[in-house]
Each structure stands twice: as structure tokens, then as C-alpha cells.
Structure 1
């Protein structure tokens, strides 16, 4: 099943070598590009057989639903890229060896070491900030390159490390969340958040931005990522909302829930506290389009009752995007989350870097990826990276729940620094 092979990708050739720097770039000579590529590959290529790249995905654990999305995206991109290599007459194939990180920083490190033992030094993943923080030192020390499309904490936006993230960090998400809440006339926020690298980072950015807008942020409730029962945390949350109502009107109080799939359990428990259903709830990219939240009757109804609104990175919509979304939706039986499209593009960019350099050397690929990314027009749109090696594009969509479905209720455009809310009653 080929989706992007043979779709008019154009290739620039310079100084006797094939240099593929993305879609939409014209040849610098008037010669037939397919013929030149085929001849150059036959004469110059040092690659053959399978070129191994690693995949470190959360196939089990808190991020397992998204892990399925990532895996589907990788397999589709791998197939499409290999079809593209066939068209070029290349004698090698890209083969992504996937390991399950179980959404665990500890297991992620073990699986990364396993990939290293197989002499695999370029890895797609990990896809959570907690995992990435725990394995970065190992990757740097052992000469491994990590390409994530799920880690977003600003604290890991580090220039010149061995990490690329084809997703914007949460500096912008925190700012947009703060502005969204402020625009809704909320003056007092009580956060409940996942106590890991991602949750702490986003909560801190939001607190800074919302305070700068004149809002007040309660100390809130920080829970351990391994917690599975939330009665105590949610009871404390209810107490805080009740206490805050003595000082602020309920219309000006809101809960900010920064969590993964455990938001389902949090909302189930919150539904037992009347006061928690009397205030607005806001959320983040960690829960948007999560199928469990809308399939569970209690969390679905609660999210609609409190007009739950959350943010997620917004890929640029295009014919390519629609095509890949349709293929993944057909495979998954549901619409994939936005980060899956970044994962798809990550496979292509890594593959193009290997093709351009005719090398699998980590340092060579690391040096080449930013140039590839800057010129490549991916499924998500621009894949240009910033100075820290993270995606430069930082547009967001606002999502809510209506009639047991996730729906887009607004968007943030970084080019105009503006939030547009759609006229939808959620």
C-alpha cells in the first residue's frame, strides 16, 4: 500500500553527488533527475540490504493508545519510503526495529541499550518527556541519535544535544493555554498535574504566563505518574475549589488538568463532587483525542458538562495530510493523534538523510537532518527545526467534547499570535 511514493518529489543534485533536500526543490541542471539518481546510486552507493533504525514506542502503559498511532505511522512511512527507494533503483531498504518502552523511563533505558547492542544508533523516540529525560545521557555518551515526536517539555529544549523533536516544545502551549483561560474570564486556576518532566514543565510555563496576565494559580495537586486511584487527590481538589469559592465567583474559577489517559479516572472521580462540576475545566495535549475519555460514559458526560477545552499541536492540513490520515484511520479504526503525523515525517527525514549522505554514521546523519528538515515539506507542513532542534512551527488546535466525540472548537495561529474560537456550544 503506497501513499506517497511517486508523488512528484523533486531532487536537487550538486557537485557529483545526489543530495536530496526535500520536496518541492528543483534540479540545478536540466538533465533527467530520475536517470541521474539511478546512475549515481549504482556508481556511488555504499549501502545495501537493510539499513536498521530503531523505534522506541509506548506500546503498553499510559501512552499505549498513542503508541499504536506511532507504530502505524512508522510502518506506513517505512513502506512508502522503501517504495520510493525502489523507484530510484536503490539497493537498500529502511528497516525500523521497534521496541516497547511501556511508557516507562526505566524500561525505555533498557530498550535503548538493547538497540545499542544491535548496533542501531539512530532511534525514533522516545515519545514522552519523562522517558527522554532518563535516556538522554546514555544516548549522548554512546553516540546515539534520538528523534522524538512526542516529547514537548521546554526543559529538554537543549541546543547541540543528540535529540531532535519534530514537535514544538510546550513554551507556546503554556502561553496559549494561559491566554485561552484568561480570555474566558477565569482569574483563579487550580491545577492537577502529572508529576513528571512533561507535566512539571507545562505547569510551570502556564503558571508563569497566567500570572503575567494577572491571574492567580493555586499550588494545586501534583500526583505521581504511577498513581492509579485518585480519590484522595480529587477530594483535595474539591476542597480547594470550595475554599476558592469564598474569594472568587465560581464563573471565574477553573481546573487545569495536565494528564495523560489517567484524566479518565480523574474525571470519573470528580463527577462524585458537585463543586467540581460547577467550574470550567481545561486540559492539554496529553489527553486530546483520547478514545477512552469519550468512550467512558462518566468521563464523557463530565467533560461535556464542564466544557472541557484542551490544546493540541496543529499540523498544516493538505492533500498529503488528508491522504495519510485516511490510511492511518483505516488501519486504526479511528482518527490518529496529531503527533502520529510528525512520526511519519520523522521516518522520511531520517531516510532522506541516509540517502543524501549514503551513510548510517550517527554524527553524519545528525549534521544533515536540520538541512533536510528545513527544505522538506512534510505531512505536517514545514518541518523546519529551531536552534534547539525542536519543530519551529507552533500552531495549535482547541479541542472539546460534544455528543461523545472530540471536536475542534478553535485554533491558535502563531503567525498572527491570535486565538480564534469557533461558534460551537460545547
Structure 2
């Protein structure tokens, strides 16, 4: 990572410690969640009211980043509220189904079907990328974690206990079982679910295109915290600022807020409404499939050829030429679909007209295409099948496409 803006001076000796702290911070990574045709980094956050500004010792941005990197919380339990507003049009649940289907897991069919299970975590947890959700989380070291997604009159739980990983959907009474080394659980981790997950990704993005400062204190979930503010220095990014409430005692992020450069409410909001760092009761991680529940063995399903896996492999092959152009917050992912642009209104009939109505038609040296916009991630699909996507403005995408000619 490159220099961080701060109002405090840093001596040469402190600089060495700072660089070490930056290297520790850089090891944290959260995989991206896929939205539409683009790989999009999604931030999450709840609109939690802060209760006062505690009087805490002054720290620099560098020291606070080092504190986050050194944080090693092993035991906790609490409640996290997540709200995401990407500004997508209301498609009657289609966007949620799209996200689930693109996870590529064996249970990617809505509600679960003969191709998979409604309890498959790689499909179920993609629901977190839209709307408002409440989670209960618990952890006891690296081998025991539990996450429960609370729904209307139902609950979905993902339990990791030693070598076993269980997913249980109470609504359908379906169970998904796999081992900790199975790929479905790795795919489930692609959806960041806690403020720490999101902060890890934000710190990874810190470089010389970024301003990082400490902006006072706050109290979140009854705990004293510092406010860390991360902002792009460059024009053209859709990210306005990332604000993280960092627990003053443990260094663990308690709240993560991402606001857009266009202003208005947060794109996403994720934070603890209640948290304790005591060891959870061992029974928290116990699970036995309920009587009559349908149990899907994920390790076996992952070996069998199925439609979801074939679709995933096809997309991966199609994106084999994925490149990243630009730097910092203005980075843009681009790949060539091989001439498979969007269907036109004439060629694609109703489908072509519908897709075209969701985007803005643009022209440039590259030719013509359609820009699909959210409050955070935008994507340009050219008529000849090239894709440009990133957390950048429409103008930045057109410039990138022109420059590639």
C-alpha cells in the first residue's frame, strides 16, 4: 500500500512499522460477488444510530489500520443488520433469482429443485446482496462458526463444526451437508457478511489513490469505537466514502458504511446491533438433521455434471481473457464475450427491447453499446460483445472503451 493521508507526521522509524502494518492489513481479502455480467465489489452496512462520541486517546490513521490488522478475535456472538440499496429496478424478485443462479452451485434453482438443495449455502447467501437482512453470528476459533439468516417465520443457518459444514433451511426443511474442504463453502464465502469482511476488502484497496483519515469516535452496539474514513482521491469513481467503526479495545470493525459519490443514503450498511466477545456455548454449533428433512450431500453433488456447474464453467471460459485496466478506485474489468453483444430490439424482439430499456445507449470511438447502471457498479456492453465494468461512472467506461481501440 502507498502513503496514507494523515494530519500527523511520521518519523523514519515509525515508517518501518507502518509499512509492516500495511503488509499485515493487505493480507485480508474478500472475494467479489458477481452481479449481472460484471464482477462487482459489494459493500454492506445497516443504518445504525450512534449513541454518543466517547472520549478516546488520539490515534493516527496508520495506527488504526495496524490495530485492525493485528486484531485476532477468536470468540464472539452477536446480531448484524445488513441493508443494501444498489438502486436496481424492481423486477419482481428476478434480481434475487439471478444472483442465486449465477452462484453456480448445485442448489442455484430458486427454492431448490431436482438439481440441488434450497439449503445450499453458495446459492442461499447471495440473498444478502439485496434488501435488508438480520443475521445472528457466532464463532469459537477457526473450526467453529455459525451464521443464521432470519427470515419471515423462517430461518436459514450455516454451521461449521470441525470437518462438517451444515446448511439448514427451515422453510423447506432441507439440509445441505459437506466437508470444510468442499468448494461450495468456498463459494459461500464470496458473499461478505460482516463489517470485518467488508473492511478487509476496503483496506486491500488502499494505495496512493486513496485518502485514509480518522474522523472522531462513535459508540456502536454499546462499545466505544474510532471512525476510519477511506475516500478515493480520483475523479470518476462511484464510491464516495467508506466509513468503518473500529472497536477501540479489540480493533475489530463493528460497522461498515459505503456511501456513493452521487450522494444520498448509503449504498450498503452493515453493523452489529449487539455483540459480545465471550465464548459461545458449545451447543451453539451442534446440528442434527431434523426428522423428515431432505439431506443433500454436497461433496457428491459437486462431482456430478449438472446445469449450474456447466453454466459456471461456460462463464469462466468466456471470461478467460479478463483484464483489469486503470488503477486504484478507477480500475475497470474488461473481457470479450466473442461477439455476443445484447440482442437488439429488432433481432431480440421483446427481450432485446426490455434489456435495452434497462440501460443507457452510448456511442464513442469504440462504436455503440449499452451502459447498465447501479448506485455503485456500472457495466458497458458494446454491440460487438466487449464488456467493461467497475465502480466507475458511465463516462469513465466510455473513455476506457475508446482507449482500448
Range class of TM-score, shorter chain: under 0.3
Task: Return the TM-score normalized by structure 1.
Answer: 0.26
User: Which of 1 and 2 has higher RCO (CA within 8 Å, sep 6+)?
Assistant: 2
Bigger helix share: 1
Task: Return the TM-score normalized by structure 2.
Answer: 0.27
